[in-house]
Amino acid sequence: MAAPQFLFATGIENSNPTIQNGRLRLDEYEKCGHYKFWQKDFDLVQEMGIECLRYGPPIHTTWLGPGKYNWDFADATFGDLLRRNIIPIVDLCHFGVPDWLGNFQNPDFPALFAEYAGAFARRFPWVQLYTPVNEMYICAEFSALYGWWNEQLASDQAFVTALKYIVKANVLAMHAILAVRPDALFVQSESSEYFHAENPDAIKPAELLNAKRFLSLDLNYGRRVDSDMYEYLLDNGMTRAEYHFFLENDLRHQCIMGNDYYRTNEHRVRPDGSTTASGEIFGYHVITTQYHDRYRLPVMHTETNLWQGPNGDEAVNWLWKEWANVLRVRNDGVPIVGFTWYSLTDQVDWDTALRENNGNVNPLGLYDLNRNIRPVGEAYKKLISQWKQVLPAQTACLQMPLVMPQQSNEAWAKRQQAEAKADQAQPTTAAANAPLQDNH
């Protein structure tokens, strides 16, 4: 079976941050019934005609300590994905860490997480696609700037600390995975943001926020930040040596930029720098083009959704709008390799951004929590069947061809891995793949 022409995907929501000073963990797998119904959930993925799934092991019950793991659930679920020949994009850290590790202020997190990523890759060597840390910017912002999750701090210093450790963890994890799977590809699922100045006095604070939104990806891709952001990072605890780590560890040539877009991703900025939601103004096409102009990487639309409202067609209309944006991005010449409705089933308590444990079901999924298909599920299923043979091969814009799970032991796939490993050993490779830098 050849790899799909275009990655139509969904995800199974596996956020697991802690609240109440670490005393309570909000585990979306538990809330959404996935531990009980995981086989049924994989059935639904196949029923949709989807061959690609954003999915990961629950970090807090899998990673028991340094070098200590309980792979039982991962063995069962990933063994079944291999049997079904579904391509996972493996989400290793989704807004939470195990209790024993504490939170994202822990300086030991990056190196320890890289060990965990390497251990996963060795256990499941057929996996090629990874999101080591999901939405790095949002994770740092909600945990250490807004005070909502995990460390529940609210300062620029705490935010920069969380951000530098989260992105370093992502970078070290990529290195650890590549040591096992040299043709691995990394999908950085990151929130695509934009800040609109409400009036002339708000122009400067909006400019700063529009620079700040790029911090996680700038660091991850080894791109020099602008001078305002360089001062901001150093003023809030990043050292020059820490900053240079990111410039010297660029793996962007193995990356796909994942852009998440929701109606809540655009903001109005007041003169004091505070913000309020603006709703959709520019939309996915304009904002993704800004990100692509900055990083020049293949793109994947890695998350979107909308509540099914009283008319029953709100989510359906949003799906068509997002898909029209994806086609416009592609027709403008941006190499876009996939699209994702997130998630497979409804979610729970995202109406309070997982800050409260209320048990509120959010009707965002392709299926409800009884595993009955929603109108947007029917629409997405139809969209996939109509478009899957029309779009051009994704491999044209990827450095490494995609390997289906069941093909990973075939001779050509092994050759690809060996060639990738040899290329990475060449000292000239890193220089040739270095990004063009802005001079600041």
Select from 187, 129, 119, 142 the least CA-distant residue to 19: 142
Q: Mean per-residue pLDDT for 375-381?
A: 98
* Mean pLDDT for all residues in the chain: 94
Q: Mean per-residue pLDDT for 173-184?
A: 97
Q: For residue 438, what pLDDT is reported? A: 47
The token pair that represents 114 in the structure block:
């890289």
Q: Give 109-123 pLDDT, tens digit per residue.
A: 999 999 999 999 999
Q: Return the minimum-mean-pLDDT range out of 20-24, 305-309, 346-350, 419-423.
A: 419-423
Residue 16 has pLDDT above 90, yes or no: yes
Q: For residue 2, what pLDDT is reported? A: 75
- Residue 3 is classified by DSSP as P
**Do the Cβ atoms of 240 and 234 come closer than 8 Å?**
yes
Q: Cα–Cα distance between 316 and 332 in angstroms, integer? A: 25
Q: Cα–Cα distance between 143 and 145 in angstroms, integer? A: 6
* Domains and their CATH numbers in the chain: 7-186+313-432 (3.20.20)
Q: Predicted confidence band at 365 (pLDDT cuts at 50, 70, 90)?
A: very high
Q: For residue 395, what pLDDT is reported? A: 54
Q: For residue 3, what pLDDT is reported? A: 80
Q: Which residues pair with 299 in a beta bridge?
A: 257, 336
Q: Mean per-residue pLDDT for 41-48?
A: 98
Q: Cα–Cα distance between 432 and 425 in angstroms, integer? A: 13
